[in-house]
């Protein structure tokens, strides 16, 4: 192939002529393709450079220039589809061509051509090569790949006979193709990929939603029930059961449950799969276990499931915590005992497993079942049931004892030990060497990179972050070459280059990006001008720095606009990290003055005074936001003696410190939330002197006392959520108020933001106010179990520190439950876990405080809360009468709520 031939192809590419490109590369031989590979690669590189340049041209230009640039960019983008077509005819390596064909960068503009041309060119190749290419393409396509490419890969799989790999993206593409008009009209039975793809429906995760919604599940059943025998029913049945046994998200399993229901499994088919159905009862999600339970009950009623097997599954089901499953199992047993009188003893003994169930209602139902059939029990069975009855509440034991003919009078169980006191938190020594700094930095970057959700387990340790920041600033001032040598291997692993990365300033609104820029600035050269830092504070004009980047002001404005959308604590963190970045690049200082001296973020006033004295003697000025944060971290009480020492420093920073120490630090009060989202914040009076930061527009104090915008996400990145309490250690209620606005989404399963902050606030000394308890109450009702576990940990931390006000917690639970803002079905198990871990006295106080309000208008599942109160009252020895409870228990009726209130009334009377 000569250069003139490639010139023809290049002209067609420049003109974005799809037909001309296809004609130029059609029918090429191996030698001709080999000669065109390098020129085509070079052309693509030039095209990518032109595309990047066209994108950059749009920033910082006027309207007329932007319109012209958009026209040029459109011409560049239009060549992308033609370039993909050229690669299909020229490239020889299957792996390279697979990357080429699935590259999304070819299609960033308007696009009309499909994959037909590429398929025609690929079919010109020999069969073994095409099979290898198909394997590579099937392993690369994902949900972001263009639809025409995904459909073409499915066509190639059908033509070449390549076995599809078990990938969820490929299965989703196949299911979506089945909705096309021509495929739906022909039916799934005519699909050549049916037998190859159906097993993958059950072999990969995250495809169950495809079966839950839409007609695809019905089409599968129709293909299995059709006369043509395109798909055996056993394939679907066995596949569904294997998938259910493997477990996973409930949302992913619902589609498979629907498919099982649509199959209308016969008794004979279910009897052949008793083993699989039995295994599902042990640890499958409750919806799956309920299906297996119903199927086994159907088999038992049809005499295809023995009484001995029923006894075995009863022990398994009653061991599970779900009340609905236990009620269904006891109902099954109540019907099975008369059908199998010869096995009544074994069945009733198995029912005794419900005596230890967490639900009192289940234990009561099992007690009634045993009492009803007590005449069929042997002495040995009665003895075994009496042992199991030791876990029953006292009132149920008194009912069961006479029926068994044996005295069952075991005392109430001993209360659990109180939660252990939290270990004393000590401050770690500052980082002492560059090698230690490199190790700490690597660990910090790893945690921040991996911690992409609001999880208490993935949070950054605030003292560790402060130690790294302090050591980086100090080392950059004293030994920057040594710092560069120590940090370069660590930064290279994370793709961080030297320099402050001003070009990224526009897009960064998360701490990870800011920290990367900070470390890059620490390992870059120092540009001795303060215009960058002054313009960051808003004190310098553009003409003060003629050598600066002309677009710096635009990027800084966009960065400020992005940060204004963040809640106050995030905004403070972003500005602190960015200030250090600019300071390291333009105006280094020997040290940070806001580094805490205590693990909770508190800064000793004497230590700050000493730091400012050193700064005045050395002739340098602390960075503005660093000084403001240092003042916020002081203890709130005035210290007149240190104020005199600070006033003698003779610097503006010393005068500001003297004012704070004379009059006391600034304070902020949190107004009582009105509803869930209306959080009112109001800064209290601050020292009147003008040198002290007040609630203006450019201070950390103003950002921390601005109500959060509930229309925006709480936090774009969650890695530094644990650092919020250390920003203003004396105002933990203020930090909790920022979290409360996001927690309703946590209850409604729309978000998982906020839970990671709860435990961090609870572990901070001095916390435990009403706003934090409101946040804990909402988190107790979170959809995700891991978020509720965080709330339980927070309760235990407060209880261990004697900071848990049970009455306030109970008032919050009652108010939110009556308004339907929390679900007692989630709150009560979490409270029971906290009580079982030693906080039973505080939980009883919470239940006692909640009962008068909730009994006036009972919310759903209130009986569970009353039953929890009975357990905690027995442990705590509570005997105080609750008039509202006594009045409600005296009402006629036999509902579960009345039964539980009477049990609690009797327990209180017994301990009075």
304-351 pLDDT, tens digit each: 999 999 999 999 999 998 989 999 999 999 999 999 999 999 999 999
pLDDT, tens only, 396-429: 888 888 888 766 554 556 788 888 877 777 888 8
Tell me the angle at which helices 824-834 and 862-876 cross, rounded to the nearest 10 degrees. 10
Average pLDDT rounded to a whole number, residues 739-763 = 69
Six token digits for residue 369: 């079942």
Secondary structure element (H or E) that encloses residue 682, with its range: strand 681-683
Q: Is 29 left (phi over 0), alpha (psi -120 to 50) or beta?
A: beta
Binned at pLDDT 50, 70 and 90, residue 694 comes out as: very low
pLDDT, tens only, 198-228: 999 999 988 888 898 888 999 899 888 765 5
Report the pLDDT value the prediction gives residue 135, as an integer from 0 to 100.
95
pTM of the predicted model as reported, rounded to 2 decimal places: 0.70
Contacting residues for 324 by C-beta, under 8 A, at least 6 apart? 286, 290
* Residues forming a β-bridge with 674: 678
Secondary structure element (H or E) that encloses residue 670, with its range: strand 668-670
**Residue in the structure block whose two tokens are 């049809």:** 302
Encode 593-631: b = buried (16+ Cβ within 10 Å), e = exposed. Answer: bbbbebbbbbbebebbbebbbebbeeebebbbbbbbbbb
**Residue in the structure block whose two tokens are 């401050």:** 427
Report the pLDDT value the prediction gives residue 529, as an integer from 0 to 100.
56
Report the pLDDT value the prediction gives residue 614, as an integer from 0 to 100.
95
Contacting residues for 299 by C-beta, under 8 A, at least 6 apart? 267, 270, 271, 274, 305
Report the pLDDT value the prediction gives residue 550, as an integer from 0 to 100.
46
* Residues forming a β-bridge with 681: 670
Candidates 574, 545, 547; CA nearest to 562 is 574
- Mean pLDDT in the chain? 84
Report the pLDDT value the prediction gives residue 109, as an integer from 0 to 100.
54
Report the pLDDT value the prediction gives residue 673, as an integer from 0 to 100.
54
Q: Which percentage of the chain shows pLDDT scores above 90?
A: 45
Average pLDDT rounded to a whole number, residues 590-607 = 92
Average pLDDT rounded to a whole number, residues 239-265 = 93
Q: Residue 543: pLDDT above 50?
A: no
Domain boundaries in the chain?
Answer: 1-162, 265-409, 425-542+550-588, 599-663, 669-804
Report the pLDDT value the prediction gives residue 531, as an integer from 0 to 100.
56
Choice among 33-37, 236-240, 269-273, 284-288 with the minimum mean pLDDT: 33-37
Q: Residue 750: pLDDT above 60?
A: no
Q: Residue 675: pLDDT above 80?
A: no
pLDDT, tens only, 478-512: 999 999 999 999 988 887 878 766 555 555 567 77
Candidates 160, 174, 162; CA nearest to 204 is 174
pLDDT, tens only, 502-511: 555 555 567 7
Contacting residues for 256 by C-beta, under 8 A, at least 6 apart? 202, 208, 211, 240, 243, 244
Residue 443 Cα to chain centre, angstroms: 21
């Amino acid at each position: 192939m000569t250069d003139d031939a490639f010139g023809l192809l290049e002209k067609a590419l420049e003109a974005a002529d799809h037909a001309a490109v296809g004609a130029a590369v059609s029918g090429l031989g191996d030698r001709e393709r080999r000669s065109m590979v390098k020129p085509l690669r070079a052309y693509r590189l030039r095209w990518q450079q032109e595309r990047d340049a066209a994108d950059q041209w749009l920033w910082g230009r006027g309207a007329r220039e932007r319109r012209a640039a958009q026209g040029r960019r459109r011409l560049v983008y239009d060549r992308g589809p033609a370039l993909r077509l050229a690669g299909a005819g020229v490239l020889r390596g299957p792996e390279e061509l697979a990357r080429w064909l699935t590259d999304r960068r070819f299609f960033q503009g308007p696009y009309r051509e499909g994959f037909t041309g590429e398929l025609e060119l690929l079919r010109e190749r020999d069969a073994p090569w095409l099979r290898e290419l198909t394997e590579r393409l099937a392993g690369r396509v994902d949900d972001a790949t263009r639809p025409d490419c995904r459909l073409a890969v499915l066509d190639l799989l059908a033509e070449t006979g390549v076995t599809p790999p078990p990938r969820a993206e490929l299965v989703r593409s196949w299911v979506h193709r089945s909705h096309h008009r021509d495929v739906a009209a022909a039916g799934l039975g005519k699909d050549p990929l049916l037998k190859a793809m159906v097993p993958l429906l059950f072999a990969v995760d995250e495809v169950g939603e495809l079966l839950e919604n839409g007609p695809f599940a019905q089409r599968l059943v129709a293909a299995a029930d059709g006369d043509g025998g395109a798909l055996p029913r056993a394939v679907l049945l066995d596949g569904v059961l294997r998938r259910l046994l493997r477990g996973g998200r409930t949302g992913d399993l619902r589609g498979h449950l629907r498919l099982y229901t649509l199959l209308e499994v016969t008794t004979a088919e279910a009897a052949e799969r008793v083993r699989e159905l039995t295994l599902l009862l042990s640890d499958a999600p409750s919806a799956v276990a309920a299906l297996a339970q119903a199927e086994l009950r159907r088999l038992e009623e049809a005499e295809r499931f023995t009484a001995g097997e029923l006894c075995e599954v009863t022990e398994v089901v009653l061991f599970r915590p779900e009340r609905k499953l236990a009620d269904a199992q006891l109902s099954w047993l109540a019907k099975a005992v008369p059908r199998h009188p010869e096995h009544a003893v074994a069945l009733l003994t198995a029912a005794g497993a419900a005596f230890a169930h967490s639900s009192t209602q289940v234990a009561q139902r099992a007690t009634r079942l045993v009492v009803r059939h007590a005449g069929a029990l042997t002495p040995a069975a009665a003895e075994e049931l009496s042992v199991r009855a030791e876990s029953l509440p006292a009132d149920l034991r008194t009912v069961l004892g006479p029926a068994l003919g044996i005295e069952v009078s075991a005392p109430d169980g001993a209360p659990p030990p109180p939660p252990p006191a939290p270990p004393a938190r000590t401050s770690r020594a500052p980082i002492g060497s560059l090698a230690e700094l490199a190790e700490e930095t690597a660990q910090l970057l790893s945690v921040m990179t991996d911690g992409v959700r609001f999880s208490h387990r993935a949070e950054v340790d605030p003292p560790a972050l402060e130690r790294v920041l302090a050591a980086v600033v100090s080392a950059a001032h004293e030994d920057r070459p040594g710092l560069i040598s120590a940090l370069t291997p660590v930064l290279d692993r994370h793709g961080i280059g030297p320099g402050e990365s001003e070009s990224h300033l526009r897009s960064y609104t998360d701490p990870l990006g800011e920290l990367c820029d900070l470390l890059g600035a620490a390992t870059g050269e120092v540009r001795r001008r303060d215009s960058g830092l002054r313009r960051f504070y808003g004190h310098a004009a553009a003409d003060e720095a003629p050598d600066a980047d002309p677009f710096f002001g635009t990027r800084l404005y966009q960065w400020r606009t992005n940060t204004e959308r963040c809640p106050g604590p995030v905004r403070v963190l972003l500005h602190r990290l960015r200030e250090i970045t600019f300071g390291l690049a333009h105006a280094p200082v020997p040290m940070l003055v806001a580094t805490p001296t205590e693990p909770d973020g508190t800064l000793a006033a004497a230590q700050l005074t000493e730091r400012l004295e050193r700064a005045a003697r050395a002739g340098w000025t602390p960075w503005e936001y660093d000084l403001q944060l240092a003042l916020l971290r002081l203890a709130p009480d005035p210290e007149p003696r240190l104020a005199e020492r600070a006033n003698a420093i003779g610097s503006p920073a010393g005068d500001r410190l003297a004012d704070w120490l004379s009059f006391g630090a600034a304070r902020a009060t949190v107004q009582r939330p009105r509803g869930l989202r209306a959080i009112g914040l109001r800064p209290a009076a601050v020292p009147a002197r003008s040198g002290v930061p007040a609630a203006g527009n450019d201070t950390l104090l103003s950002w921390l006392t601005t109500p959060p915008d509930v229309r925006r996400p709480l936090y774009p990145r969650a890695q530094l959520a644990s650092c919020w309490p250390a920003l203003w250690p004396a105002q933990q209620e203020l930090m909790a108020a920022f979290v409360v606005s996001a927690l309703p989404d946590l209850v409604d399963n729309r978000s998982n933001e906020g839970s990671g902050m709860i435990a961090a606030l609870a572990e901070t000394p001095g916390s435990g106010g009403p706003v934090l308890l409101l946040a804990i109450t909402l988190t107790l009702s979170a959809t995700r179990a891991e978020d509720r576990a965080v709330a339980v940990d927070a309760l235990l931390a407060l209880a261990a520190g004697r900071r848990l006000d049970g009455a306030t917690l109970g008032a919050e639970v009652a108010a939110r439950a009556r308004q339907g803002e929390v679900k007692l079905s989630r709150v009560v198990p979490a409270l029971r876990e906290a009580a079982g871990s030693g906080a039973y006295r505080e939980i009883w106080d919470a239940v006692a405080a909640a009962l008068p309000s909730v009994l006036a208008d009972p919310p759903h599942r209130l009986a569970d809360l009353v039953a929890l109160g009975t357990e905690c009252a027995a442990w705590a020895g509570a005997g105080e009468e609750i008039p509202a409870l006594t009045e409600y228990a005296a009402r006629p009726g036999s509902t579960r709520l009345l039964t539980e209130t009477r049990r609690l009334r009797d327990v209180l009377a017994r301990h009075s």
